[in-house]
């Protein structure tokens, strides 16, 4: 069974930093692109970043470019999201998600984690 388990969320002050992790199991991790999608309270889904299976290609939404870094460690079956200079509006549930192919482009996300909540507040 494919499973994605996020961790690392919590309360952080504006301007602070945070690293989210997502441990994958049940599939050949390095063969698939991975993504981060967030959802602010009461709002819709927002894709923020994707990374290819090898980690060689990364993509970011304009709204977060320069403030987040996506990475992966295929030896540990783990996806990361490093966030810095956090703003109040970054408060959301952050979902880790698996792509249907090795490239993050074009192919749908087919499996989602349960999400980890990030709250940016003073």
Partner 1 sequence: QSLLTQPPSASETPGQRVTISCSGSSPNIGSNTVNWYQQFPGTAPKLLIYNNNQRPSGVPDRFSGSKSGTSASLAISGLQSEDEADYYCAAWDDSLKGWLFGGGTMLTVL
Kindly list the residues in this chain that would bind partner 1 in the complex (CB under 8 A): 35, 37, 44-47, 50, 59-62, 95, 100, 105-106, 108-115
Shortest distance (Å) from residue 45 CB to partner 1: 4
CB 89 within 8 A of CB 78: no
Shortest distance (Å) from residue 66 CB to partner 1: 14
CB-nearer residue toward partner 1: 89 or 110: 110
* Residue the block writes with tokens 């003073």: 122
CB-nearer residue toward partner 1: 46 or 77: 46
Which stretches of 1-122 are assigned E, i.e. beta strand?
Answer: 3-7, 10-12, 18-25, 34-39, 45-51, 58-60, 68-73, 78-83, 92-99, 109-112, 116-120
What is the SS3 assignment for 13?
coil
Shortest distance (Å) from residue 43 CB to partner 1: 8
Closest listed residue to residue 46, CA positions, set 66, 67, 61, 68: 61
CB-nearer residue toward partner 1: 66 or 122: 66
CB-nearer residue toward partner 1: 77 or 117: 117
């Amino acid at each position: 069974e494919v499973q994605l388990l996020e961790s690392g969320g919590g309360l952080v002050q504006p301007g602070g930093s945070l690293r989210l992790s997502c441990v994958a199991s049940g599939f050949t991790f390095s063969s698939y692109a991975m993504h981060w999608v967030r959802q602010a309270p009461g709002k819709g889904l927002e894709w923020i970043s994707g990374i290819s299976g090898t980690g060689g290609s990364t993509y970011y939404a304009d709204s977060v470019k320069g403030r987040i870094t996506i990475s992966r460690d295929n030896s540990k079956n783990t996806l990361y999201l490093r966030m810095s200079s956090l703003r109040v509006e970054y408060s959301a549930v952050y979902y880790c998600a698996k792509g249907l192919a090795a490239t993050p482009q074009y192919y749908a996300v087919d499996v989602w984690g349960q999400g980890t909540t990030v709250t940016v507040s003073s």
